[in-house]
Structure formats: C-alpha cells, structure tokens
Amino acid sequence: MAKLPSASGKKAGFKPRSTRDLSVSITDWGVYIPRYGRGPDGQLYMKGRTKYKSLPEAIRAQTHTIESLAELSKKHTAEYEEAARLHGQLLNWKALKPVEKSKVMRGLNKLSDSVEGKRAVGPDDSVYRQEAVEQLDETLAEINTGKITAKMTKVKRILGARKLATERELERIPQRRTVLVDEKKRRDAEAFGLLDRAIRMREDVAKASEDPIEQRRLANAIMNFRDELSKRGEGSLKNTAREQVARAVTEFRGGDSGKASESLRQANRTIAGFISKYALLPQTRIDQIARSDDAAFKKKVARAQLKIIEDHAEYWKSPHAHESLTTQEVDRRRAALQGMLGA
C-alpha cells in the first residue's frame, strides 16, 4: 500500500494576504494561477499555471471551483459515513443472516463504484481513490476470512483522509478568491481614481485663472498625472492616455486652454474605455457617459459593459458569488446600455 499524502500542503491556519503569497501572477496578458501536483515523496510541487484572461474571469473560476468542492465534500462525507456503517456490520459478519450479508456486499460494491467515480479532483484525489478501491476490492475478495475488519479499517482511514483533504481545499480556495477579489477592488479603486483626476483636471483647466502661480501649479499637476500614467502596465493607459495628457501639458503651457481641455477629455474617455472592459461601471458613470456627444465612445463602453453582463449573468445568481445583482438590476442595466447602442 502506497504512502498516503498529508491532507494539506500548507500549515494549518495559513492565510494568504496577497497574490505573492499565492504565487499568482497578474499581467497585461492575463492572470496566472498555479496548479499543483504531489511527487513520490509526498511533497506538493507546482505542475504549471492556469491562465485566465482577466481578474474577473479568474474570480469566477475560483467560485465555480468552490461550488464543485462543496458538492464533492458532501459526497466524500457520505462515502466516509457509509464506510463506517459497513464497517460496523462487518464487525458482526458471522452473526448476519445470508440476506443481510448479501446486502452488505451490495453496499461494498456500490461504495467502491462511488469512490472510484469518473475522475480525480485535486492533486491527491487519484491516490485516495486508488487506495480505497483496492482495499474495498480486497475486502470483497476476502469477505469470509478474518481479515475483513482490518481492511475496512484502512478504507475508513483512507476515506477519512480524503474527506479532510477536500475540506481543507474548501478552506483554501475561498482564501485565494478573497485575495483576488481584494486585488480587483484595489485596482478598480486605482483606475476610478485616475478617471476622477482626469475629470477634475479638465474642469480646472476650463476655469483656470491667469495667475502665473496658479497656472504653474496646474501645469505641474498635469505633468505629475502624465508621469503616473507612464508607470502603468496597461498599454491603453501607459501609451494612449499618457500621450493625450502629455499633449495637454504642452497645450496648456502654450496658453491654449481649449485644446488642453480637449486633450484631457480624450484622456478621460481612454481611461473610461479601459475600465469599462473589466469593471462594472456604477449607474451614475453610465448616466454620465450616456450624455456624451461622442456616439462612438458611448457604443464602445456599452458593448464592453454588455459583455461583462453576459459573462456574469449566471455567476451573479450563484449563492457562492462574491457580489450579486438581481435579475431586475441586470435587466435595467442591459436596457440602458442597449439604448446607448441605438443612440
């Protein structure tokens, strides 16, 4: 009998606080989450990484995993309890009537089929399945010998370890999702902060006084904003929006507030367009964009937001979702966005 893996790859009580703790990589090209296996020595190792197009997609995937594990945990608990029940009957095997023995044997066969299942789940499940099924088969083969209770004791131990491993995994995946959700909230807040700054700067330029000190202060603020955008990893912010803000600096310093305001308006739209691809915009933002006189910009945002609704519609209905929208809210948003497409 092979050595069974321990039920957890992390110390009990370990709670990741960042994507670094989880070895998760977030880039312009996607989110990379590690996949683990277990070597012959019983130690976990990274087999590779699963790529997701975006943080929302990675979060949805973790939620689907949580749902699957919750169902699996129920199954593993039921199998462990059934093994314990059958073990109790095997302890009294000689006293059972033939019909009762037949019933126990059918129960063992049914349990073996249930444990084997269709596929392994997680880095350890194939080991648990193989060992448990082997022990159950040996129990059936030696049903009339004195070894059956020892065999079923091993089955109980294996299924107990499998049940515990699933429960540990059911603790770990929500922790991973929480870290991803927190990271998305942080990035959303950062991006919306950039959008608010672009809006305020455009308003400040539009009403800028002729005081040289005030104009120098405002020009420096726009330059700082440009420099901040240059440090972003996202191409549309690092390149397009930064160039638009840089142009605004030159135009404002040259005394053309009108052109500077227009360049900042373009930067505003570039940032809003970027956010609309991965974050559900608040209704107040949607209402602002709906009033825009730029039909192409409105349609771009509307299409991106409708894609988010399409991707999340089923997810929001899940009791395991980290956020939710009612069907009425989804329908109201969809109607408003479709109206923007027809504008």
Q: CATH number for the domain including 141?
A: 1.20.120
Residue that is written with structure tokens 């807040």 in the block: 189
Residue 129 near residue 117 (C-beta atoms within 8 A): yes
Note the pLDDT of residue 243: 95
Q: Which among 254, 279, 304 is the end of a domain? A: 279
Q: Is the residue at 137 inside a domain?
A: yes
Q: Does residue 65 sit in the same domain as residue 155?
A: yes
Q: Is residue 186 part of a domain?
A: no
Instruction: Return the pLDDT at 1.
Output: 45
Using CA atoms, how far apart are residues 150 and 154, in angstroms rounded to an integer? 7
Identify the pLDDT of residue 16. Answer: 58
Residue 195 inside a domain? The answer is no
Number of domains in the chain: 3
The DSSP line for 59-100 is HHHHHHHHHHHHHHHHHHHHHHHHHHHHHHHHTTGGGS-HHH
Last residue of a domain, one of 234, 262, 279: 279
Residues 273, 304, single domain; the answer is no
Q: Is residue 164 part of a domain?
A: yes
Model pLDDT for residues 184-242, shown as the tens digit of each residue: 889 889 989 999 999 999 999 988 888 888 899 999 999 999 999 998 878 888 899 99
The verdict on 85 and 145 lying in the same domain is yes
Number of Cβ within a 10 Å radius of residue 276: 22
- Whether 64 maps to a domain, the answer reads yes
| Residue 27 belongs to some domain of the structure | no
d(CA 157, CA 148): 14
Amino acid, res. 301: V
pLDDT in tens, the chain (343 residues): 444 444 444 444 456 566 676 788 887 788 999 887 766 555 667 788 899 988 889 999 999 889 888 998 999 999 999 999 999 988 888 888 999 999 998 998 899 888 887 555 555 566 677 778 888 888 778 776 667 778 888 889 889 988 988 888 888 888 888 889 998 889 889 989 999 999 999 999 988 888 888 899 999 999 999 999 998 878 888 899 999 999 999 999 999 999 999 999 999 999 999 999 888 888 888 888 888 888 889 899 999 999 998 888 888 887 778 777 788 888 888 888 988 887 5
87 and 114 together in one domain:
yes
Same domain flag for 61 and 166: yes
Sign of CA dihedral 102, 106, 109, 111: negative
**In a domain? residue 60:** yes
Structure-token match 């039920």, residue found: 7
**Same domain, yes or no: 172 and 65:** yes
Type of residue at 173: I
Integer Cα distance of 139 and 108 in angstroms: 8
Q: Are residues 247 and 299 in the same domain?
A: no
175 three-class SS? helix
Q: Is residue 85 part of a domain?
A: yes
* Residue where a domain terminates, one of 256, 279, 302: 279
Tell me: do 67 and 167 sit in the same domain.
yes
- Give the domain range for residue 274: 208-279
Is the Cβ–Cβ distance between 36 and 123 less than 8 Å? yes
